[in-house]
A and B are shown apart, each in its own frame.
Chain A
Amino acid sequence: MAHRRVPTPSQTIGPFFPEHFVGGADHDLTFLDDKSKRAQGQKIYIGGNIYEAERLPRWNCVVEIWQPDANGCFAHPNDPRRARADPNFVGWGRRSSDDAGWYDFITVKPGGYADPLTGKPRAPHIDISIMSSGLMRRVVTTLFFPGEAANVQDPVFNAIPDAAVRERLILRPEKLERAPNDAIAYRLDIVLQGEGETPFFVD
């Protein structure tokens, strides 16, 4: 076998990520190229502000999400249940935060699943990455849903020992102006640094 190669260092995404790379409907995960075929599941809207130090809104962040489909499946060879994955759901979306620091996604509520790696149940969740000028590496965390019985057993949720800090990752139902009428709306603000700082995970 070939000798081990060391991963290329990360560098900041900078302030000039092309605008046409984050345009269009890349933040809407409920359909692929063909709008007539919708992803299965409950449509949801997730939005919030991103803040840097001193609670200043951080515009021009590149935000990406990754999640299982409504049945908790991934269309990926590493998922033993991949045959059941929704063919109209890619699970990935991207958005840039606007001038007021607002990011948002339209997606379907992810299903939980029995995790083959840890042997524990994963509660419904969405992985989120934030890239920005000033961030030499992306920061990553996971969003959880309120009132889910599986949250208490989730190995990622419980990787944060302090319950008050952990709570910052739970989406809050809120009526949001930009949410589509047929979607359940949730809010989650992300504080990169400072009071109420969002807990982030080792990438």
Chain B
Amino acid sequence: MTPPDRYEPYDEPSQPLMRVDGYRESQLRTPSRPLYKRPATLTEITGPLNLAKKLKVGMNDLSRIKQGAPRAMGQLIWVTGRLLDEDAMPVRGSVLEVWQANAAGRYVHKADSGNPAPQDPNFFGSGRCVTDREGRYAFLSVKPGAYPVPNHPTRWWRPPHIHFSILGEGFMSRLVTQMYFPGEPLNGIDLLLKAVPDEKGRERLVARWTPMMQLERADVVGFEHDIVVRGHRATPMGF
């Protein structure tokens, strides 16, 4: 199956505002001038397809430092889903990276050193895989905790979430996003989730809980989360 060769501009209300009220960093870093429109050329409709040559892949267990090591504290979760294009075709062979806070709401990162929540020496906290023939990814982790945004006057807490970075099949299908959990009370007040004007757009950021009967294993809580990246293919595979 050939990669997408046609990319249209994003549907604006389904994507977040760039300047977000109350999110100070967005005020300081968002360009102040309008963006220039450019034609898509070959550079934009191509992208690295052989990144596994460059990046180490096959790390899909965030819940422990290495195989056989003790598990991190927290509720074990199994997160899986499909990477699709705008015609619902699977995006195969794409590098997909995830990272998240531990069960107490703290990251494995030097920039989170001011966080009073405890570190967990058994928590790895990040993973990288390649999507399979069906566009599917899967990883094992612990449910991330919520955490307060430092120095924020209105006591803004980020709801539990997992960060995703997706390379896709072309420069234009690059996507960095976050996955939220269903039924979390903090979802409704999160400034970053609320930055997406369209309600259906916000819903696309929230995973679905997987009924127990549909899970192959009984020791995890399952979540299903499909992700759609931009792009149309000239010759889509028939159904």
Query: Does B163 make an interface contact (CB < 8 A)?
Result: yes
Pick from A7, A16, A19, A159: contact of B175, CB under 8 Å? A7
Query: Does B94 make an interface contact (CB < 8 A)?
Result: no
When C-beta atoms are compared, the residue in chain B nearest to A115 turns out to be: B41
Instruction: Give every chain B residue within 8 A of A77 (Cβ-Cβ).
Output: 2-3, 49
The reply to whether A136 and B48 contact each other, CB–CB distance below 8 Å, is no
The reply to whether A18 and B39 contact each other, CB–CB distance below 8 Å, is no
Complex: A126 Cα to B69 Cα, angstroms = 43
Q: Give how many A-B residue pairs fall within 8 Å (CB-CB).
A: 250
When C-beta atoms are compared, the residue in chain A nearest to B125 turns out to be: A18
Total interface residues on A, CB under 8 Å, equals: 76
Complex: A53 Cα to B64 Cα, angstroms = 40
Q: Give, as a whole number of angstroms, the nearest-CB distance from A77 to chain B.
A: 5
Query: Does A122 make an interface contact (CB < 8 A)?
Result: yes
Pick from A11, A92, A115: contact of B176, CB under 8 Å? A11
Given contacts A15-B109, A115-B42, A117-B45, contact A6 B239 (CB under 8 A): no
Query: Does A118 make an interface contact (CB < 8 A)?
Result: yes
Complex: A193 Cα to B57 Cα, angstroms = 35
The reply to whether B16 and A11 contact each other, CB–CB distance below 8 Å, is yes
Query: Does A183 make an interface contact (CB < 8 A)?
Result: no
Instruction: Give every chain B residue within 8 A of A64 (Cβ-Cβ).
Output: 174
Show 30 A/B contacts (Cβ-Cβ < 8 Å), sorted by A.
A1-B238, A6-B11, A7-B11, A7-B15, A8-B227, A8-B229, A9-B201, A12-B178, A13-B176, A15-B109, A15-B111, A16-B101, A16-B109, A21-B128, A52-B28, A53-B29, A60-B111, A77-B2, A77-B49, A78-B2, A90-B53, A91-B48, A122-B43, A134-B25, A135-B18, A135-B26, A155-B39, A193-B30, A199-B36, A201-B38
Question: Which 7 interchain pairs have the tightest Cβ spacing?
Answer: A134-B25, A2-B88, A92-B48, A76-B46, A134-B29, A159-B38, A18-B126
Give me the interface of B with A, judged by CB distance under 8 Å: 2-3, 5, 9-11, 14-18, 20, 23-33, 35-51, 53-55, 84-89, 97, 99, 101, 107-112, 125-126, 128, 163, 165, 170-172, 174-178, 192-193, 195-196, 200-202, 204-205, 227-230, 236, 238-239
